Amino acid sequence: MDQDIINNNKEWIDEVWRKLDKKLSAAAVRNRGIIPYTSNEGCYDNRGAANPAWWSNGFWGGMMWLMYTGTENEEYKKTALASEQIIDEGLKSFKLLDHDAGFLRHIVSGANYRITGDEAAYSKALYAAASLASRFNVDGGYIRAWNSEGSEGWSIIDCMMNLPLLYWASEEIGDPRFKRIAIRHADMVLRHHIRADGSVNHIVVHDTETGEVLSIKRGQGYSECSCWSRGLAWAIYGMTLSYKYTNNEEYLAAAVKTANYFAANAAAYDYKTPVDFRAPREPAYYDSSAGVCSACALLELTKYVSDAEAYVYTDAAVKVLKATDKYFCNYDPDWDSVVQMATERYPADGVMRWVHVHLIYADFFFAEAMNKLRGNKFCIW
């Protein structure tokens, strides 16, 4: 990170951190035993009870671990451990396991093991890695997305964020199998998901027998050739983390290319991230979760680039976080949820779902970014 930018913003960083910690420490105690996905009128829902294997259920516990490493407040740790017990329920059905094993386990059981050394958490993280690896299509070189009939040949950009679980597993057991699968998937993403201009394709459809790429499918976003901003965030962060674990310069180049696309386009929206960078500007639909995830990615990326590039990425990340703080945050300690104005789904066919709502992963990435700005060295990924 560029230290001058950090120093110039120290007062703001300290103030946001103080409000965030005050709010989240109250929420951690009040909501121990649930796992939120969204909130309604300042009350979290309980997605953990409704579906313990839901893809985003790791973000609540992961955020608790982040706050614990940033504060050493035991209340965060207790809530993180309680959330792990809930997602353990999801292990009981094989049908519920999917490509999001990393989102679900790496930042909960994996974080638990890395912080406390807990052996049961270690085993659960390795089981998750084994289950994720088992989804690899050897001919197509991709990790299969979802479980629904018809999605056997699909790879999605989101899955880049699940690869750190595989890299970690290989390091732990001293066997490259998991890492090789992650590398094959990331190489496929370089070829088929990341476009020449640095924007990304959400879904790529492969022939399940030959591996041939059959088509690009829209999934999320305004159109097949537009740029769903959260997908872009998954690409910037996923490629940066793949570089961290492999030192493959091609991944770093892809991280830089996607980061440059984000930085240039976010500036054109005053750093309030739209849900799609190539959708009509009006009506304006935002996705705060894409902004804060991209900010984390940019801050991580600063570790691996020149000082000049680190300045550009620190500057863009801080501007996104300041816009998030100013326009989208609620710091009332009695009101569940911090970052508002996230958008779950933005398809072109007019069926909008969960637009301008709270989503737990926006809070997670905001907390992660503020931890990074404060110099917390713990990398949860």
Helix (H) or strand (E) holding 254: helix 249-268
Which of 179, 230, 272, 372 forms a contact with ligand GLY (CB under 6 A)?
A: 230
* CA–CA separation, 320 and 143 (whole Å): 31
Nearer to ligand GLY, 97 or 252 (CB): 97
Angle between helices 58-71 and 109-116 (to 10 degrees): 20
Q: Which are the contacts of 237, defined by CB distance < 8 A and separation ≥ 6?
A: 160, 161, 293, 294, 296, 297, 300, 381
Maximum distance among all Cα pairs of the chain, rounded to whole angstroms: 57
In the complex, the smallest distance separating the C-beta of residue 290 from ligand GLY, rounded to whole angstroms, is: 9
DSSP codes joined into one string, 311-357? HHHHHHHHHHHHHIIIIIB---TTSS-SB--B-SB-BTTS--BS-SB
Q: Pattern 140-179, binding to ligand GLY, x per CB under 6 A?
A: ------------------x---------------------
Of residues 37-96, which lie at the interface with ligand GLY (CB under 6 A)?
55
In the complex, the smallest distance separating the C-beta of residue 205 from ligand GLY, rounded to whole angstroms, is: 17
Nearer to ligand GLY, 19 or 99 (CB): 99
* CA–CA separation, 62 and 75 (whole Å): 14
In the complex, the smallest distance separating the C-beta of residue 49 from ligand GLY, rounded to whole angstroms, is: 20
Size of the site for ligand GLY (CB under 6 A): 3
Among 158, 325, 336, 363, which one carries the catalytic annotation? 158
Nearer to ligand GLY, 158 or 300 (CB): 158
Among 100, 276, 325, 336, which one carries the catalytic annotation? 100
Residues 230 and 287 sit within 8 Å (Cβ to Cβ): yes
Nearer to ligand GLY, 161 or 252 (CB): 161
Residue 363 annotated to the active site: no
Residue 100 annotated to the active site: yes
Binding site for ligand GLY (CB under 6 A): 55, 158, 230
The residues carrying an active-site annotation are: 100, 158
